[in-house]
Amino acid sequence: MSRIELKAVRKDFGNLGVINGVDLDILDGGFTVFVGPSGCGKSTLLRLIAGLEDLTSGQVLIDGRDVTELGPAQRELAMVFQSYALYPHMSVRNNIGFPLKMAKQPEDMIEAKVRKAAETLNLTAYLDRRPGQLSGGQRQRVAIGRAIVREPKAFLFDEPLSNLDAALRVQMRLEIMQLHKSLGATMVYVTHDQVEAMTMADRIVVLNQGRIEQVGSPLELYDHPKTLFVAGFIGSPKMNFISGSVAARYGAATIGIRPEHIQLGASDGGFTGTIRIAEHLGSDTFIHAESPELGSITVRATGNIEASPGTALALGFEASRVHRFDAQGVALK
């Protein structure tokens, strides 16, 4: 349980700046998610915190102590890797106990801690198996077990769910959140999946090209994106962006409106369109329409509505839900 601070952190690989000056305060006991498209530097940032990469400049502080020059082990953090990085020739028991063995703890204490971790994670029946004999979800749990036995100051997760199938991902997502609740530990979680970020985080850090675009709670980012990038990245289906004369009418270079904030059949909205494709999900219907004023536009309608291609639509915006951006892509108040 601890607070991690990043101060003016930079990381260059050769001439390429991967992290271009990041200041961030990761709160004690919080669940912070780094999210961004691939190549935005989110994994590098996590590795910088872990001590697996050296900083080009800047500082990393844990509980106020400067750990910039310390090796990964001395930082007392634990990390769960994307590939799990289990040791294939060791049993589950030895995998989980490895950090304790390296810390030269007595055998009986290691055994007790491994047992406890295995119970928490429902792994007791598999302690003598090798990683190769486990399913993806079980391997994931072993990786988490190896992290929790050390009682680290904070947990770092590097896209831990991306190798799992969809159903298992939802289940593991819940398990990690429960773990966070029960341990009350600081967790930093990297993902490229904005759904994971929205559901798990109490604080999201959106990264783009090695810079922080915005930090905030999931709903803050959803309701008040500060930039065009954040607006487009958070939310599914993606926000519609409209520029030109329609945007000028709102006094902005670009306006954004989420698919769920467009009303169908509102005659006062003033826009028309034709349905190109409709996706029926049962609970929702995503309508991809073509509008003479707005261009291509996605509309999310609740329920399963009748929508066949070629049908004409009347579209209206919820005025309070229109996001306005200037020519630089920054939100206007």
Partner 1 sequence: MATRHSQGIARLAVAPAVIVLFLWMIVPLVMTIYFSFLRYNLLNPDMDGWAGFSNFYYFITDESFPGAVFNTLALVATVIVASVAGGLGLALLLDQPFWGRGIVRLLVISPFFIMPTVSALVWKNLLMNPIYGLFAFLQQLVGITPLDWFAKVPLLSVAIIASWQWLPFSALIILTALQSLDEEQKDASAMDGARALSYFRYIVLPHLARPITVVILIETIFLLNIFAEIYVTSVGGLAGNLTYLVYFQGLLNFDIGEASAGGLIAVVLANLVSIFLVRIIGRNLEI
By CB under 8 A, residue 83 contacts partner 1 = yes
Rounded Cα gap, residues 200 and 244, in angstroms: 37
Number of C-alpha atoms within 13 angstroms, CB side, residue 318? 11
Residue closer to partner 1, measured from CB, 138 or 298: 138
Residue closer to partner 1, measured from CB, 73 or 125: 73
Q: Binding partner 1 by CB under 8 A: which of 103, 219, 277, 332?
A: 103
Query: Which tokens in the block code for residue 333?
Result: 């108040």
Rounded Cα gap, residues 282 and 68, in angstroms: 51
Q: Binding partner 1 by CB under 8 A: which of 12, 21, 59, 81?
A: 81
By CB under 8 A, residue 153 contacts partner 1 = no
CB atoms within 10 A of CB 88: 9
Residue closer to partner 1, measured from CB, 13 or 87: 87
By CB under 8 A, residue 93 contacts partner 1 = no
CB atoms within 10 A of CB 278: 19
Residue closer to partner 1, measured from CB, 43 or 240: 43
Residue closer to partner 1, measured from CB, 51 or 259: 51
Residue closer to partner 1, measured from CB, 185 or 215: 185
For partner 1 (CB under 8 A), the number of binding residues is 26
By CB under 8 A, residue 189 contacts partner 1 = no
By CB under 8 A, residue 52 contacts partner 1 = yes
Angle in degrees, 0-180, between the axes of helices 92-102 and 136-148, rounded to the nearest 10? 20
User: In 74-124, at which residue ranges do the beta strands (DSSP E only) sit?
Assistant: 77-80
Work out how close the CB of 86 gets to partner 1 at its nearest, in angstroms, rounded to a whole number.
Answer: 8
Our CA angle for 55, 140, 33, nearest 5°, is 45
Residues 77, 152: contact at Cβ < 8 Å? yes
Positions in the binding site for partner 1 (CB under 8 A): 47, 50-52, 71-73, 77-79, 81-83, 85-90, 98-99, 102-103, 132, 146, 150
